[in-house]
Structure 1
Amino acid sequence: MDRLIYTAMSGAAHTLNQKATVSHNLANASTTGYRSENNAFRAVPVYGDGLPTRAFVVDSTTGADFTPGPIQQTDRNLDVAIRGSGWITVELPDGKEAYTRNGSLQISPNGILQTHNGFNVKGDTGIITVPQDNRITIAKDGTVSAVPITPLPNTVAIVGRIKLVDPPENQLIKGADGLFRMKDEIVPQANANVTLVEGALEGSNVNLVHEMVSMIALARQFDMHIKILESAERNAQQASEIMVVRT
């Protein structure tokens, strides 16, 4: 009985957490470069004196789906999408690196190349600064070039190269800000095999049909856990009545 109650109770709680994950995925179905999240659970025993039959359900794995999303053409100079695997490196306020697939870039008032969320894009030699009154182009290898608008539009100056990396997916963890970080904080080297698509953005890889089906399945699963708890309560009541009658 203990195992039944504890497993059903903790299973119901984690099912609610999984429903929250699915809801988060659905809310980001149109977010540029978003990687859908997933959860898995397993039952483990509760260790301690007097609790040999009790078990909890705990998170077994919490990760992300690294399947590439669809590439959508925008024809904007500062929009880039990664073809295949790979990541754009950004610099966090504490100086550490993080990685994103959101290639919607912008130029800050100080002339620094940033992501749409305001994180500085990191180049092979540091942050990338763009001179004023220049038109920016980004090549497929991440090279950022500045073309003066006037008076010599044919003069091209290379101002930096975006650091493109491709670390093992099993070494990446997703943060609450949507950025990915290395588990062991080892800084990966730039990978020349990672290429960009100019004037395009990668859409979210959320499968709406799959997520909606998962939401329905989780709702039924939660109902099943509640029915198990109700059944355990009835059994306990009946057992108590039998004990009372016998005494």
Structure 2
Amino acid sequence: MDRIIYTAMNGAQRLLEQQAAVSNNLANINTTGFREQLAIQRAVPLQGGGLFPTRVSAATVTSGTRQEQGPLAETGNPLDVAIRGDGWFAVQTPNGEAYTRAGDFSIDVNNMLVTKQGFPVLSADGGPVELPDRGSVTFSTDGQISALGAGDNPRDIQIMGQLKLVNPDMAEMVRGDDGWFRLANGAVAQPDDQVSIASGFVEKSNVNPAEAMVAMINNTRRFEMQMKVISDASTREEKANSILSTNG
């Protein structure tokens, strides 16, 4: 059997993995704070004798993430916040502390500041953020949280704490299957007072729809080319077997 079949089959498998990443990006075009996922492969020389140097295999490398900031959209919602530049919000998930760019927060039935998924947003001291019942909330650019209870005098505004804003080295962060980012070694990032936020805004996905659609079309065409190579190799094999059978 022509060994090119294995090379083409491996290439087709890598393209399917890349197509899955592109499809996931397209599905999250409207997801707040979403970071575009990158499927990265590397060339691997084939081992053994009788091989051509142009025949190489491909192996998937840990998926990467495009870190450019997405556009900020003004919502007017006082509980919406967006990070300007580098940085992350800290959130307590069932699998430990995680980090996100999505700042479309809300208040749950226990008056806790939570994410869209219902996970507590963490304060700079590592605890959840509790807010007054039916109170108005204001975020300063450094993440400080001010609140005024319903019916309270404006002079009685309270400082409820400060959001935990972090900015760890991206080389130390890993994107989990659940979409949340965490430190690779399981450590907890420390607050960074250089991170700045904008209240009343959310950061939209940084996926470019046009580029994602072009990538999907290109992947489809490349996959078809790999399948054509496999088909041609199979046809040649059948013809060779037919000739040998006739001569025999």
TM-score exceeds 0.5: yes
Give the corresponding residue for 1:233.
Answer: 234
The answer on whether the counterparts of 1:46 and 1:52 sit within 8 Å (CA) in structure 2 is no
1:67 aligned to 2:68? Answer: yes
2:33 alignment partner in structure 1:
33
Question: What amino acid maps onto 1:210 in structure 2?
Answer: E
1:47-126 equivalent positions in 2, closer than 5 A: 56-94=57-95, 96-125=96-125, 126=127
Percentage of pairs with the same residue: 40
**Equivalent position of 1:149 in the other structure:** 150
Shift of 1:2: 4.8
After TM superposition, give the deviation of residue 52 of structure 1 in Å: 8.2
TM-superposed deviation, 1:16: 1.8
> In structure 1, what is the Cα distance between the partners aligned to 2:46 and 2:206?
37
Q: Deviations over 1:39-61 (max 9, x none)?
A: 122343677xx898697532124
Give structure 1 stretches of 5+ with no counterpart: none
Name the residue aligned to 1:10: 10
Which secondary structure does the structure 2 equivalent of 1:57 belong to? strand
The answer on whether the counterparts of 2:72 and 2:82 sit within 8 Å (CA) in structure 1 is yes
Whether 1:162 and 2:156 are equivalent positions in the alignment is no
Contact 2:133 2:150 in 1 (8 A): no
The CA distance in 2 between the partners of 1:133 and 1:11, in whole Å, is 57
Q: How far does residue 9 in structure 1 lie from its aligned partner after superposition?
A: 0.8
- 1:169 CA displacement: 1.4
2:73 is paired with a residue of what secondary structure? strand
Partner SS for 1:121: coil
Gaps of 5+ in 2: none
The one-letter amino acid paired with 1:97 is E
Task: State the aligned residue count.
Answer: 244
TM-score, structure 2 normalization: 0.91
The structure-2 alpha-carbon separation of the partners of 1:43 and 1:78, relative to structure 1 and needing over 3 Å to count, comes to: same
- Measure the CA separation in 2 of the matches of 1:219 and 1:72: 33
Secondary structure of residue in 1 paired with 2:69: coil
The RMSD of aligned alpha carbons is 2.0
The one-character-per-residue Cα deviations of 1:87-113 (angstroms, maximum 9, x if unpaired) are: 00001124x210000000111111111
Query: 2:37–2:66: 8 Å Cα contact kept in structure 1?
Result: yes
What is the rounded CA distance, in whole Å, between the counterparts of 1:238 and 1:43 in structure 2? Answer: 32
CA contact (8 A) 2:165 2:195 kept: yes
Distance 1:76 1:52, change over 3 A: farther
TM-score (norm 1): 0.91
Q: Are the aligned partners of 2:90 and 2:98 in contact in 1 as well (CA < 8 Å)?
A: yes
